[in-house]
């Protein structure tokens, strides 16, 4: 299973903000750190704000911060909401399913079990769990790109 780019960016944004020493960041900082489009991140940040994961701080010294503690943000829940549900195959879409063997197919049960196991595994982790190594993340995320390349060499 491969996560969508939207989910990938959502997790990266949350990790960046959670790992940031000041607990806040801007879209521009995040885009630069990951070398990804600020326009894509704007959509991600807007969605994460609507879902109650991020707050937008306005004015001088503003930016983004977590709307709740990192320990209260479940990775499985974030993935589920950003992926849009549990639809690994066409047969899970009742309104648009055109598969001829749906009624007699046993594969959908195996896929359903796999999706359930996937989310069960992710629900064992919080955002806090995945950023416990803040110091190591900081060495990569919170330095300028030329300094990052020199540190890797």
Residue 10 lies in a domain: yes
Query: Per the structure, how many domains does the chain have?
Result: 1
Residue 38 lies in a domain: yes
Residue 51 lies in a domain: yes
Contact between residue 79 and residue 122 where contact means Cβ atoms under 8 Å apart:
yes
Structural domain containing residue 25: 5-144
Residue 153 lies in a domain: no
Residue 149 lies in a domain: no
37-58 as b/e, with b when 16 or more CB fall inside 10 Å? eeeebeebbebbeeeebbeeee
Predicted confidence (pLDDT) per residue in 68-96, tens digit: 999 999 999 999 999 987 766 666 677 77
Q: What is the pTM of this model?
A: 0.84
Q: Domain of 78: which CATH number?
A: 1.10.10.10
3-state secondary structure labels for all residues of 27-92: HHHHHHHHCCCHHHHHHHHHHHHHCCCEEEECCCCCEEEECCCHHHCEHHHHHHHHHCCCCCCHHH
CA distance 3 to 32: 22
Predicted confidence (pLDDT) per residue in 90-131, tens digit: 666 777 777 787 778 888 888 888 888 999 999 999 999 999
């Amino acid at each position: 299973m491969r996560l969508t780019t939207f989910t990938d960016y959502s997790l990266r944004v949350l990790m960046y903000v959670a790992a940031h020493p000041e607990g806040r960041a801007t879209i521009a900082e995040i885009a630069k750190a990951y070398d990804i489009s600020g326009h894509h991140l704007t959509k991600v940040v807007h969605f994460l704000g609507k879902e109650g994961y991020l707050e937008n701080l306005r004015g001088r010294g503003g930016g983004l911060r977590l709307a709740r503690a990192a320990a209260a943000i479940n990775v499985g829940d974030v993935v589920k909401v950003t992926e849009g549900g549990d639809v690994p195959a066409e047969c899970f879409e009742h309104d648009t399913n055109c598969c001829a063997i749906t009624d007699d197919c046993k594969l959908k049960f195996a896929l359903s079990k796999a999706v359930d196991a996937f989310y069960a595994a992710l629900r064992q982790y919080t955002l806090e769990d995945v950023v416990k190594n803040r110091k190591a993340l900081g060495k990569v995320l919170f330095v300028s790109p030329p300094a990052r390349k020199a540190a890797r060499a």
